[in-house]
Amino acid sequence: MKSFLAALLIAVPALAHAYTWDQTINFDPAPQITSKSSYSFTHDLTLPNSGYDNFVVGSDSIDNYSLILGLRNDAIGQIDYVTISQPGLFSSSTLKNWSVRSVTSNETYQGILSLNDSGKLAITISTIFGNFFLDTSELIATGTQGSQASVPEPASIALLAVGLIGIAVMRRTSRA
């Protein structure tokens, strides 16, 4: 019985299968974001990518993601105020004396819901003052691919183990 429990507790975490979806958009020509203007675009993980499987809505599941924007300054020495808007987040950065910069935006709960619901994430980048170019945008999402069994949380595994141990103890006491 002990070996069965040990095998069960070791095997259950092995059911987890993390998968990564990655989409990079290379803007050519790069849009220029000028003072008090914005540029909107959408990452779509359902589109086929070379080397990666596309995200399948309803079958795949995204747990987290990261958004990395590649920016290029058109006038080095000036201060630029960059804002990034995505579902559930409006973030801003003040960039000083820069030429090329990567700006990373973290995941949001609403962004994860949007990706799981449609495979898409809408982004708007803007500025109040300063001018710059948007060269690239990379979305990296991780989660579970396909209809694989989900991994139970540790509390569920512990509850199962306690129940099995209780059954084993009851069987032993009833034999005595």
Please tell me the distance from the alpha carbon of residue 122 to that of residue 6, in angstroms, as a whole number.
Answer: 46
Tell me, what's the pLDDT at 105? 86
Residue 110, token pair as written in the block: 């609403």
pLDDT at residue 5 is higher than 50? no
pLDDT level of residue 163 (50, 70, 90 thresholds): confident
Is 59 strand, coil or helix? coil
- Report whether pLDDT(33) > 90: yes
Confidence band (pLDDT; 50, 70, 90) for 115?
very high
Distance CA 122, CA 20 (A): 19
The model's pTM is 0.72
Residues 59-76 have a mean pLDDT of 91
- Average the pLDDT over 73-83 and give the result: 84
Across all residues in the chain, what is the average pLDDT? 84
Tell me the mean pLDDT in the region 3-14: 51
Three-state DSSP state, 114: helix
The closest of 76, 65, 137, 142 to 106, measured between CA atoms, is: 65
Q: How many CA atoms lie within 13 A of 164 on its CB side?
A: 15
